[in-house]
Structure 1
């Protein structure tokens, strides 16, 4: 978001931090906010009213309180109220900002419990599972079918494998508001990594790295970039050997396949 929307987003996220202070109720608050996001997505008239600069902030605040008071908890209502009183460059920005606030509020519970890495791991792994199964990918992303049914399917697949934070985020990802389900999951995982104060390293390797190898790689990258690093590994046998690392806008490629391709270009050129 840019301009007035960026400033209003910052205010909404500040409200979310206040509402989720302590983290214990973060999931419930976040799910209440997600419910409002769903209502906004289903009601373009309401989105336009809340983003209309000609409507007084107090009037917009009164509107959302009349619509949602008693249906969501007070902490979530305060977040929604902050969004209603903001200035937005586009009607969709209101719901997008609230979704970000809901994600951060849910993640506050994982932060409170020391589980941000676990949430990131589970979301990343489930994203890869969906990508690798075309039928599942199509089913979860099929917006012509029931949203509640798709959310129930995701919950069943994660049953016994995910905590309530991960489940809440996975259910919201099914809505696919801006991206496909698997892309949204990966985005939420990145949010968890950033919230933990880490950089994300996307690693491509010919085989799955074990815990010691990941730890050594994370340590080396942390020394290079001056921050703790979360290592996410994608296995691709076509790289043959070595690894490629995408981190902080840079790519470090030491794969055998790349070196062979460079050698071929050198011979030809």
Structure 2
């Protein structure tokens, strides 16, 4: 049993564990506290999102939908390992669950099989949604799995909890399957190993890829129907990956060729930024490319 720390302290303890934290809007005060209290907190609950694309995932987890208002968690753990904080306080993530499971979490013993749903989990758990389709086929990148481990370890370290304070949604509420694709016992074992260090271990920060604007524009302006081969540039894949992540390009068209599909996708990104007419022609400009890189993990060189 514990009292949640202040929002600023919460963000700091995640960073201290070596995580890259993205603070989304008014996350520090965005909550469902008017529906009931948050706390005392007893553990951390892990979910998968059944969504594709980080930008769209973060948006729905922050805002929710007509049947389930947001925030739907406290943080979104993206495939690249970044943690997007979308709310702090009571969140619509756990719903009703098994009181025997809650008792086990509090006592830090192995949880029984969940067979009823009568206790308010939104009050008693931190909740993290992890970007994944949840179909058993969508991969879990190593950076994302490590981030899940670090998030849970950071909170356990702060409260003095052990790994048995971390559960999956499938262990809380009958009929749930998330997170699907890795085992909670494996995750708790990894958390236990990390907690043995006694202090957070910060990994070296990865080098962000760099996209050369002039080379990218040349690739975008090359005519695939011309006699000569289209201009190729390795940065096209970086930009296409960002457009896939943002939800504007289908992954099947992320092929390193700045063709019609990529032009259309980039034009959608430009319109998202407020450009219209010829200014939204799908050809990258400095401002739009810099914004795309800032949100999806690359830098721009002119």
TM-score normalized with structure 1 length: 0.29
Higher helix fraction (1 or 2):
1
TM-score normalized with structure 2 length: 0.26
